[in-house]
Amino acid sequence: MRGLLLVLGLMAVPAMTLAMFWLAEIHPGYFSNQTYLGGVLLLEIVIAAVWHYEKAFFTVLMLSFLWAGFVIPLAAAANSLRWVFLCVGALVGLVKWTESRRRQPFGPIHLVSSLCVLSAAVSSMVSPRLTVSLLKGTSLFLVFLYGSCGARLAVAGREANFFRGLVTACEITSYLTAVLYLIFHFEFFGNPNSLGAVMGVVIVPALLWGVLVAGGRSVRQRRMIALCLAAYLLFSSVSRAGILASAVAVTLMCFALHRGRLLMKGAFALVLLMTTLAVLQPGQFDSFVSSFTEDVVYKGRPELGLLGSRKSPWQDTVRVIGESPWFGSGFGTDVTAGHSPAASAVRTVEGSGIEHGNSYLAIVQYVGLLGIIPFVVLILLVLRLIRRVCSWMWRTHSPYHYAIPLAFICLAGLIHAFFEDWLFALGYYLSVFFWTSVFILADVRPQESVALSNAWSAQVDAGRIPLSASQ
């Protein structure tokens, strides 16, 4: 059957070529129209990504969401294209999952995620912006469907390649961002909070794990440099949420692995650096301390207190929850004074929503106290997965498990979401990456009882990391 499909695919190439020449002959205007040419290019990319679904589609999907979120050329076009890729990825992933021999059964987290989609759909019925709310609920369904099927296929049977690619992508992101930000001053993330979110939630935890499992000295040094650059970019973003999320994730990772000495070395290096700066350039050190206190701790408004920048949006959100506590304002929509009803089907218009300052308050406002129940259970299941990974690390003292980077990315994400409302903003690239990581983590999580294998020392190198002790 596979051979027949290959033959048909090869025969389709000259047939399509002849059809294109014939179409160009009778309708030459089609090939000078940018819209038509863009549609043909998009179709080719989709077909190529689907053809290599397990190997390429995850990367293509994430790049499409990143493209839409960056301040780069053609970002407006990517706002629509990302939903095309997500829809295709979810539907094709479902078909391929049903045919795959490596598929794993659905678990509690998949059942609860479907209940979250149902809750979002019910809350949409009470929204004054029914169409927008239903569209946002559909995006939640597509992300969860892709995570439950397509993203799992990207990892099943090719764990080494997937996680090697994940660490490599984090390295490239760290180096590229450092060059563009520090040398060319091109801030393609746009908002500094987005830079802090990406570096603190994804790049720093993943690169720290990459350093711990690196098999060669050159690889370890390269990843260590990338980690230092990511940490510097994180601090330079002045994102308290990103810094806190990264600090907790890194500390807990070292603590679970019994690597307290590594934490002490990092703290000693930081103190030594600060002391040297204070001795050699006392004026600059005083300026640094003052800047850190004002910009990072108090966000430029010390009179408001430590969480002054968050109190106002939190209070506004709580007030809206009090007005419609049971069924909410509708998933993904806000009901506030002065709210503009205009919104795009593919992108929320600037100013059409409010700042909640907390993803958990935001979802309570969206679905109400009745609809929040499956979302609470979903978060608890994610915390349970993280606890299982930490317990395994504490017993084995080993960093050699594929679940570790995903667990601490999820932990950092949950902490960061307490100060930013992106967790259920499904158009945001970090939200899509977070939820796909959750579903992958549910598959690669350690078993309840796993003994450390001595074969690990022989198997671990720059590219091979065993999924479990039996491999």
Q: Say what the pLDDT of residue 294 is.
A: 55
Q: Which two tokens stand for residue 126?
A: 């009470």
Question: What are the φ/ψ torsions at residue 109 (nearest 5 degrees)?
Answer: -65, -30
Q: Considering only CA atoms, which of 389, 30, 52, 61 is closest in space to residue 205?
A: 389
Q: How confident is the model at residue 257 (pLDDT cuts 50, 70, 90)?
A: very high
Q: Which residue in the block uniquely carries the two structure tokens 């990504």?
A: 49
Q: Say what the pLDDT of residue 447 is.
A: 73
Q: Which two tokens stand for residue 192?
A: 């500094």
Residue 431 has pLDDT above 70, yes or no: yes
Question: What are the φ/ψ torsions at residue 276 (nearest 5 degrees)?
Answer: -60, -40
Q: Say what the pLDDT of residue 351 is.
A: 40
| CA 331 to each of CA 147, 318, 321: distance values in angstroms, whole numbers, following the listed order | 20, 16, 13
pLDDT above 90 covers a percentage of the chain that reads: 38
Average pLDDT over residues 185-193: 87
Q: Say what the pLDDT of residue 108 is.
A: 92
Contacts of 237 (CB under 8 A, 6+ apart): 192, 193, 195, 196, 199
Summarised one tens digit per residue, pLDDT across range 265-318 is: 777 776 776 676 566 656 655 655 555 555 555 555 555 555 556 667 777 777
Asked if residues 462 and 216 have their Cβ atoms less than 8 Å apart, the reply is yes
In a domain, 49, yes or no: no
What total number of domains does the chain contain? 1
Residue 324 has pLDDT above 50, yes or no: yes
Asked if residues 374 and 366 have their Cβ atoms less than 8 Å apart, the reply is no
Per mean pLDDT, which range of 14-23, 57-66, 86-95, 203-212 is the poorest?
Answer: 14-23
Q: Considering only CA atoms, which of 135, 133, 131 is closest in space to residue 331?
A: 133
Containing H/E element for 294? none
Containing H/E element for 451? none
Asked if residues 357 and 317 have their Cβ atoms less than 8 Å apart, the reply is yes
In a domain, 13, yes or no: no
Residue 321 has pLDDT above 60, yes or no: yes
Residue 218 has pLDDT above 50, yes or no: yes
Q: How confident is the model at residue 454 (pLDDT cuts 50, 70, 90)?
A: very low
Q: Say what the pLDDT of residue 316 is.
A: 73
| Amino acid (one-letter) located at 120 | A
In a domain, 7, yes or no: no
Sign of CA dihedral 135, 139, 144, 145: positive
In a domain, 43, yes or no: no
Residue 17's Cβ-count burial label (10 Å; 0-12, 13-18, 19+) is: exposed
Q: Where are the alpha helices (DSSP H) in 257-402?
A: 260-280, 282-291, 308-323, 359-396
Q: Considering only CA atoms, which of 390, 368, 254, 357 is closest in space to residue 322?
A: 368
In a domain, 226, yes or no: yes
* Upper half-sphere CA count for residue 22 (Cβ side, 13 Å): 6
Asked if residues 143 and 86 have their Cβ atoms less than 8 Å apart, the reply is yes
How far apart (Å, rounded) are the C-alpha atoms in residues 33 and 18? 20
Task: Output the average pLDDT for the chain.
Answer: 79
Residues spanned by the domain of 299:
58-449
How far apart (Å, rounded) are the C-alpha atoms in residues 441 and 426? 19
Q: Which two tokens stand for residue 359?
A: 């993803």
In a domain, 106, yes or no: yes
Summarised one tens digit per residue, pLDDT across range 346-384 is: 454 444 456 777 889 889 999 988 889 999 999 999 999
3-state secondary structure of 304: helix
In a domain, 35, yes or no: no
Q: Which two tokens stand for residue 394?
A: 């504490």
How far apart (Å, rounded) are the C-alpha atoms in residues 321 and 330? 11
Q: Say what the pLDDT of residue 22 is.
A: 60
Residue 190 DSSP one-character state: -
3-state secondary structure of 286: helix
In a domain, 141, yes or no: yes
Average pLDDT over residues 141-154: 92
